Structure formats: C-alpha cells, structure tokens
Amino acid sequence: MKSEVLAHLHDILQAGRAVGRFVVGRTFGEYCGDDLLRSGVERKFEIMGEALNRIARVDPSVLDQIRDRRGAGRV
C-alpha cells in the first residue's frame, strides 16, 4: 500500500477518534445546541470525506476494503 494512502487512512482514523472525544457524554440536544461542537464534528467529517476522495484518486481498490465509505464522503 502506498505511503500516501496510509497517510490518508491515518487522517481518517484521527478524525474519527476526535469525533468520539468531542461527543462522549453529550446528548443529541447538546450537540444541536452547541455551534462550536457541531462545527468541530462537521469539520472532522469533511476531513474524512476528503481523505476518502484522495484515496480514490491514488488507489481506488483500497476503498473496497472500507465498510460504509459512502456515508462518510462523496466517494
């Protein structure tokens, strides 16, 4: 696997972990009412989507191994 793809997978992992840290212990109501929290979560999903798009350009076969990838971006 190309190092560029590994870097993008690392970005996806880190962004996903950040989302988990952001929302732990929060209710959906808190999420909806907190612009900063919502913006942070949305930004991390944008990062994941962009990383998936870059992987698609470098090595599309990698995407076949990522479950539910369509829900994370425009791929």
> What pLDDT score does 21 carry?
98
Handedness of CA 59, 63, 20, 29 (dihedral sign): positive
Q: Calculate the CA dihedral of residues 71, 3, 56, 9 and round it to 10 degrees.
A: 0
> What pLDDT score does 69 carry?
61
Rounded Cα distance between 2 and 25, Å, is 37
> What pLDDT score does 64 carry?
84
Show pLDDT as tens, one digit a residue, over the chain (75 residues): 789 999 999 999 999 999 999 999 999 999 999 999 999 999 999 999 999 999 999 998 898 887 666 655 444
